Amino acid sequence: MTDDLVVMLTALNQEYKAVRERLTGTEVLKHSRGTRFEVGTIRGTSCRVALGLTGKGTQPAAVLAERAIQHFSPVALVFVGLAGALWDTPLGDVVVATHVYAYHGATSEDDGLKARPRVWETAHGVSQVAQHVARTGHWARDVPPGTEVHFGAIAAGEVVHNSRSSAERRWIREHFNDALAVEMEAAGVAQAGHLNGAPIAIVRGISDPADGSKTTEADRKWQPTAAANAAAFAVRLAVELIKEQELIAMDDNTTSDDRGTVRNVTTGPVGIQAHTVTGSTVHQNITRRGDGPTDFGTELAALRADVTREHSSGRLDDATYQAARSELDIADEALGATTREGKQKFVLALKRLGGLLGDLAGPAAKIAALIVAAKGLS
Same domain, 190 and 124: yes
**Is residue 320 a part of any domain in this protein?**
yes
The conformational region for residue 146 under phi > 0 = left, psi -120 to 50 = alpha, else beta, is left
Does residue 201 contact residue 97 with C-beta atoms inside 8 Å?
A: yes
Which domain range does residue 312 map to? 296-375
Residues 77, 139 share a domain:
yes
Which of 189, 202, 205, 101 shows the shortest CA–CA distance to 149?
205
Of 229, 248, 267, which residue constitutes the final position of a domain? 248
**Same structural domain, 58 and 127:** yes
Whether residue 217 is found in the same domain as residue 308: no
Do the domain assignments include residue 285?
no
Q: Does 207 lie in the same domain as 64?
A: yes
> What DSSP string describes 125-150?
HHHHHHHHHHHH-GGGGGS-TT--EE
pTM above 0.75, yes or no: no
Question: Are 38 and 172 found together in one domain?
Answer: yes
Asked whether residue 169 is domain-assigned, the answer is yes
User: Domain check: are 325 and 209 in the same one?
Assistant: no
Residue type, 144: P
Q: Are residues 240 and 94 in the same domain?
A: yes
Instruction: Judge whether 287 lies within some domain.
Output: no
- Number of structural domains the chain divides into: 2
- Domain end position, chosen among 220, 248, 276: 248
How many DSSP H helices and E strands does the chain contain? Answer: 10, 14
Distance CA 60, CA 66 (A): 10
pLDDT confidence of residue 368? 85
Alpha-carbon distance of 175 to 359, in angstroms, equals 53
User: What pLDDT is recorded for position 253?
Assistant: 54
Q: Which regions in the chain score pLDDT beneath 70?
A: 1, 249-293, 338, 376-378
pLDDT, position 267: 44
Is 30 domain-assigned?
Answer: yes
Residues 337 and 190 placed together within one structural domain of the fold = no
In a domain, 272, yes or no: no
> Quick one: pLDDT at residue 18?
98
